[in-house]
């Protein structure tokens, strides 16, 4: 019998995808379908004094408006449960949804939204993490003491300790310090965020989604709709590019609320502007690295401070700093590690997952440290990495035992393909033993 695993087989449904027979969420049309547009906060931070949507609702072609009052369940969702479907009081970032209009088409919805009378008091926002840490900084989250995520009351720093960091630096012959700043990236998939919802013949809420994680999102949606899982038919499985952006709900909650209220099929789709400016992001980072190493190149101490800009809500940021920290000393056997990491709120779009998921950001900083160490020691950059690379049985920062290590094998393959002749002593190394 043929063994299929290991064969370069064509993509299962690839022909349909490249010839256009694949059906994406935005391809779905139902008779009498209505369209949603969202009233977004025009300011980065503010307090809503009054919102009058009466002229919006009276516009010809408008089925009605949606506000936080229309939510049958809780006005909260997300991995840490603090994102709001609609923020009726104090928007925390420009573009945050305040309310929505449901109309026969998107143009009508936009025309109607222009008639919304939003009386909002603009307040001073804070965008930079280190500004947000200053004593009198504007507070991103009303009613909190500062702009830091708290693991427990007063505990704002996530820590990983392995070995003895002070002893590690004492043993080091040299130390290199570096500060690294990494930007804010959008997923930019070909398919912008979109959702279609309707009530089916069995009175279930049927939602067509491009969610990357159906089970997780169903868990988020049920408390918003106040429906059991069996009353939602959450149909997905295909996604026109996600890259982590579709790990967060952007449209399904609002489309679902509109279908529940108006009992009609509803489509809600982002424009590219909404995707770029208001969707979740790979959030900005600043790292402070201090790496201690011996004259022969062995890394003996790694002290890492992570500062992660979460934007206006928590998104997945605590998980990001944790996972980043676990791997931020790279694929290397480092006996003494100290990681100290903080999540900082600012008045910007929400930071969440994106391809490479936070681990990427730590690797970039650590590898730059490694390149600088190689330069300082006058050592071949390949050799420095071969010396330090994990072998099976090594211990990582959070005390996991490395199994199936393969950094040396990946580097050897890369060098071979690049036409680089590695020294014999490196070619003799492997990841099974040091």
Partner 1 sequence: MKKKGVGMSCVLHPTGNKGAGDPSQAAIQLKPDGTFTLVTGAVDLGQGSSTILRQFAADELGVPIENITVNNSAGNAAPVTMGSFASRVTLIDPHAVKLAAEDLKAQICKWAAAQFGVNPDDVTFADNKVAVKNDPAKSLTMAEVGAGVFNSPALMIGTGAWYPAPFTAHDPETGAMPSVGAVSFGACYLELEVDTETGVVDILKLVQAWEVGKAVNPLMCKMQIGGGLSIGLGYALSEECWPHAPSMDFVPEVLGDYFIPTFADYPLENERAVAEVPHPMGVKGAKGFSEGSSTAPIPAIIAALHDALGVWITEIPVTPEVILRALGARG
The footprint of partner 1 on residues 158-197 (CB under 8 A) is 158-162, 178-186, 188
Pairing of strands 337-345, 97-103: unpaired
Candidates 115, 141, 204, 261; binder of partner 1 (CB under 8 A) is: 204
Query: Which one, 62 or 343, has the nearer CB to partner 1?
Result: 343
Spell out, one character per residue from 139 to 158, where the chain touches partner 1: x when CB under 8 A holds, - when not.
Answer: ------------xx--x--x
Place of tokens 């009609």: 264
Q: Which of residues 258-297 bind partner 1 (CB under 8 A)?
A: 272-273, 276-277, 281-282, 284
Judged by CB, which is closer to partner 1: 104, or 218?
218
Q: Which of 115, 261, 294, 323 binds partner 1 (CB under 8 A)?
A: 323
Minimal distance, residue 352 CB to partner 1, in Å: 11
Residue 326: closest CA among 397, 378, 243: 397
* 8 in contact with partner 1 (CB under 8 A): yes
Query: Given CA atoms 401, 407, 410, 416 in this order, what sign does their dihedral have?
Result: negative
Pair of tokens at residue 398:
């959070």
CB 352 within 8 A of CB 315: yes
Residue 24 CB, shortest distance to partner 1, in Å, is 11
* Token reading at 70: 């229309």
Contacting partner 1 (CB under 8 A), which of 24, 30, 127, 262?
127
244 neighbors 357 (Cβ within 8 angstroms)? yes
Question: Is the Cβ of residue 33 or residue 214 nearer to partner 1 in the bound state?
Answer: 214
Binders of partner 1 among residues 224 to 253 (CB under 8 A) are 229-230, 232-244, 246-247
Least separation, in Å, of the C-beta of 39 and partner 1?
Answer: 17
The binding track of 329-348 with respect to partner 1, each residue x by CB under 8 A or -, is: -xx-------x-------xx
Q: Is residue 385 involved in binding partner 1 (CB under 8 A)?
A: yes
Q: Is 424 in the site for partner 1 (CB under 8 A)?
A: no
Strand order in the sheet with 266-269: 62-66, 97-103, 34-40, 266-269, 194-199, 205-208, 232-235
Contact (Cβ atoms closer than 8 angstroms) between residue 414 and residue 389: no
**Of the candidate residues 9, 31, 378, 424, the single one contacting partner 1 (CB under 8 A):** 9
Closest distance to partner 1 from the beta carbon of 157 (Å): 11
- Of 11, 29, 153, 421, the residue at the interface with partner 1 (CB under 8 A) is 11
β-strand partners of 43: none
Q: Between 67 and 212, whose beta carbon lies closer to partner 1?
A: 212
- Report how many residues bind partner 1 under the rule CB under 8 A: 125
Pair 135, 128: CB distance under 8 Å:
no
CA distances to 186, 382, 396, 425 from 432, rounded to whole Å, are 39, 18, 16, 15
CB of 60 to partner 1, least distance (A): 29
Q: Please state the φ and ψ torsions of residue 169, each to the nearest 5 degrees.
A: -70, -30
Q: Tokens in use for 224? A: 């918003």
Cα dihedral 392/395/399/401 (nearest 10):
10
30 binds partner 1 (CB under 8 A): no
Residue 193 near residue 186, CB atoms below 8 Å = no
**Interacting positions 388-417 with partner 1 (CB under 8 A):** 389, 396-407, 409-417
Residues within window 49-78 making contact with partner 1, judged by CB under 8 A: none
- What does the CA dihedral 129, 344, 284, 268 come to, rounded to 10 degrees? -120
Of the candidate residues 12, 143, 153, 154, the single one contacting partner 1 (CB under 8 A): 12
């Amino acid at each position: 019998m043929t063994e299929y695993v290991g064969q370069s087989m064509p993509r299962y449904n690839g022909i349909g995808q490249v010839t256009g027979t694949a059906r994406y969420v935005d391809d779905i049309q139902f008779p009498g379908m209505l369209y949603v547009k969202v009233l977004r906060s025009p300011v980065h931070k503010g307090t809503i004094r009054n919102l009058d949507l009466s002229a919006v609702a009276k516009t010809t072609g408008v089925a009605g408006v949606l506000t936080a009052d229309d939510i049958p369940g809780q006005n909260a969702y997300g991995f840490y449960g603090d994102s709001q479907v609609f923020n009726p009081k104090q928007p925390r970032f420009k573009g945050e949804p305040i309310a929505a209009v449901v109309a026969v088409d998107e143009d009508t919805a936009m025309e109607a939204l222009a008639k919304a009378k939003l009386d909002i008091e603009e307040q001073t926002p804070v965008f930079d993490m280190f500004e947000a840490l200053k004593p009198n900084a504007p507070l991103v989250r009303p009613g909190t003491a500062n702009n830091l995520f708290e693991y427990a009351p007063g505990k704002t720093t996530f820590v990983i300790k392995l070995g003895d960091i002070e002893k590690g630096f004492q043993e080091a012959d040299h130390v290199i310090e570096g500060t690294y700043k990494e930007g804010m990236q959008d997923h930019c998939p070909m398919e912008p965020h979109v959702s279609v919802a309707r009530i089916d013949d069995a009175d279930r809420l049927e939602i067509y989604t491009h969610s990357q994680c159906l089970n997780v999102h169903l868990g988020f949606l049920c408390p918003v709709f106040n429906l059991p899982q069996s009353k939602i038919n959450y149909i997905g499985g295909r996604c026109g590019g996600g890259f982590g952006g579709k790990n967060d709900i952007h449209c399904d909650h609002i489309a679902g609320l509109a279908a529940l209220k108006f009992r009609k099929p509803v489509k809600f789709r982002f424009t590219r502007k909404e995707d770029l400016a208001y969707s979740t992001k790979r959030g900005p980072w600043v790292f402070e690295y201090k790496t201690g190493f011996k004259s022969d190149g062995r890394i003996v101490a790694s002290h890492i401070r992570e500062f992660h800009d979460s934007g206006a809500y928590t998104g997945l940021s605590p998980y990001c700093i944790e996972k980043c920290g676990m791997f931020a000393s790279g694929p290397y056997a480092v006996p003494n590690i100290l990681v100290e990491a903080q999540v900082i709120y600012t008045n910007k779009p929400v930071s969440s997952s994106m391809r490479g998921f936070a681990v990427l950001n730590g690797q970039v900083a650590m590898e730059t440290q490694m390149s600088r160490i190689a330069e300082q020691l006058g050592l071949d950059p390949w050799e420095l990495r071969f010396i330090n690379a994990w072998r099976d049985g090594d211990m990582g920062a959070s005390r996991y035992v490395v199994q199936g290590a393969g950094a040396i094998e990946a580097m050897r393959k890369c060098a071979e393909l690049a036409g680089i002749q590695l020294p014999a002593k490196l070619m003799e190394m492997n990841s099974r033993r040091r």
